[in-house]
Amino acid sequence: MHPHELLTLTVLDLSAGPESRTVCSLRNGSPLVLDLWHTKCVKCPAALSKLDSIAAKHPDVKFVACALSLCDKSDGPSDEESSREAVVELVDDMWENLIHCYMTVEDKLKAKAELGFTSVPFCLVIAADGSILFKGDPAQVDFTNVFNTSPSPDSVPGDIKVAEPSLLKPLSESNHVSSKPALGFGYDDEDF
């Protein structure tokens, strides 16, 4: 996928009502970190908390936390609306330095196909010019240096080039934490 095509992915900005926006319009010429997560992910609260603290140190970068719908294609609009409302309730007064968005099931399926991700949290780091600096597990991003360089395609390690397939491990029982869910996050259905 060409980097500029990625920016046409559609999300709902939870602070702006039910209107759809593209990632490009959220970026608006600035560097952007897009973190994809869902409410059944046990690793996501910690990843969102870490991104929130990093976002406070980078006011020139837009940090977007995009919750993925847990509905499937056969669910109706009321299920999608309920899912979105649950996310709004969950993130209320949480992670204040992040722009909170929601991705419908249709847009989630498109994003999964285009980006090749199979697990969350999944992070994209996009430079001001729209080039992709990183894609993968947010725990592997060096936020101290990622925006200080504009790598050429030859200088980007193979595991983070856009054209390369993601090396993410699919969700499985081994990814589960045996403790109870935190902050309303659960893990009873990892098929997102």
Please give the torsion angle defined by the CA atoms of residues 138, 186, 104 and 18, in that order, rounded to the nearest 10 degrees. -100
List, for residues 64-75, the tens digit of each pLDDT value: 999 998 776 665
User: How confident is the model at residue 146, as a pLDDT?
Assistant: 84
User: Strand 10-13's sheet: what is its strand order?
Assistant: 20-22, 10-13, 99-103, 62-68, 32-37, 122-126, 132-136
Q: Cα separation of 60 and 58, whole Å?
A: 5
Question: Cα separations (Å) of 124 from 11, 31, 68, 69?
Answer: 14, 11, 15, 18
Please give the torsion angle defined by the CA atoms of residues 12, 139, 3 and 103, in that order, rounded to the nearest 10 degrees. -20
Q: Does pTM surpass 0.75? A: no
- Pair 47, 37: CB distance under 8 Å: yes
46-55, 108-117, 125-134, 158-167: which has the minimum mean pLDDT?
A: 158-167
State what percent of residues in the chain have pLDDT above 90: 22
How confident is residue 7, by pLDDT bands cut at 50, 70 and 90?
Answer: low
List, for residues 27-49, the tens digit of each pLDDT value: 888 999 999 998 888 899 999 99
CA atoms within 13 A on the CB side of 101: 27
How confident is residue 151, by pLDDT bands cut at 50, 70 and 90?
Answer: very low
Buried/exposed 69-94: b ≥16 CB within 10 Å, e otherwise: bbbeeeeeeeebeebbeebeeebeee
Radius of gyration of the chain (CA): 16
List, for residues 16-29, the tens digit of each pLDDT value: 776 788 888 888 88
CA atoms within 13 A on the CB side of 113: 8
Sequence-distant (6+) residues with CB within 8 A of 149 are none
Helix, strand, or coil (residue 136): strand
How confident is residue 63, by pLDDT bands cut at 50, 70 and 90?
Answer: very high
User: How confident is the model at residue 36, as a pLDDT?
Assistant: 94
63-72, 79-88, 102-111, 112-121: which has the minimum mean pLDDT?
A: 79-88
Higher pLDDT, 138 or 179: 138
List, for residues 80-93, the tens digit of each pLDDT value: 778 888 888 888 88
